[in-house]
């Protein structure tokens, strides 16, 4: 289903993805510190989460700016140094709170859809 918002066509899933995706990034780096390409791969492999891989990069920039992740440059065995992302305590809090919200949201939507 598509609807018009502000003169352009938007897919409701695109909107939903945008809001959810940054928390998925936080969840990926909570498991282990990762560099950008690994994060992109982890999200792509989950299927259906990422349509354009490049859009993860602005999102990472925003998470850095907001202090939800921090980064460390490390040498890599192949190629140039890589920037590794780690979850900060603010990021951990944001993720915990999202997990609660998401669970309630998911259950509510499921309940309505199944009715």
Partner 1 sequence: MDTDLLVRDYLARLDAAAASLPVHRRAELSAEMRDHIEAALTEAGRSDEVTVRNILERLGSPEEIVAGEPQSTPSPSAAVASGSKWGGLEIASLLLIGLAWPALFLPFGLFLWLGMGVAGVVLTWASGRWSTRRKLITTVVVVALYGALFVVTYPAYRTEGPAGSPIVTSY
Residue ranges in contact with partner 1 by CB under 8 A = 36-37, 40-41, 44, 51-55, 57-59, 61-62, 65, 78-80, 82
**CB of 114 vs partner 1, minimal distance in Å:** 33
- CB-nearer residue toward partner 1: 73 or 102: 73
**CB of 46 vs partner 1, minimal distance in Å:** 14
**CB of 112 vs partner 1, minimal distance in Å:** 27
- CB-nearer residue toward partner 1: 63 or 95: 63
Cβ contacts of 98 within 8 Å, gap of 6 or more: 23, 26
**Long-range pairs for 44-53: beta carbons < 8 A, 24 or more residues apart:** 49/17, 49/20, 49/21, 49/24, 50/17, 50/21, 51/14, 51/17
Task: Give the tokens for residue 71.
Answer: 């980064």
């Amino acid at each position: 289903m598509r609807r018009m918002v502000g003169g352009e066509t938007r897919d409701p899933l695109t909107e939903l993805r945008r809001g959810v995706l940054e928390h998925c990034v936080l969840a990926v780096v909570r498991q282990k510190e990762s560099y950008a390409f690994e994060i992109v791969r982890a999200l792509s492999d989950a299927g259906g989460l990422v349509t354009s891989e490049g859009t993860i990069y602005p999102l990472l920039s925003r998470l850095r700016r907001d202090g939800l992740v921090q980064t460390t440059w490390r040498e890599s065995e192949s190629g140039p140094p890589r920037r590794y992302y780690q979850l900060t305590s603010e990021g951990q809090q944001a993720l915990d709170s999202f997990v609660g919200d998401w669970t309630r949201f998911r259950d509510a939507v499921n309940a309505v859809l199944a009715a």
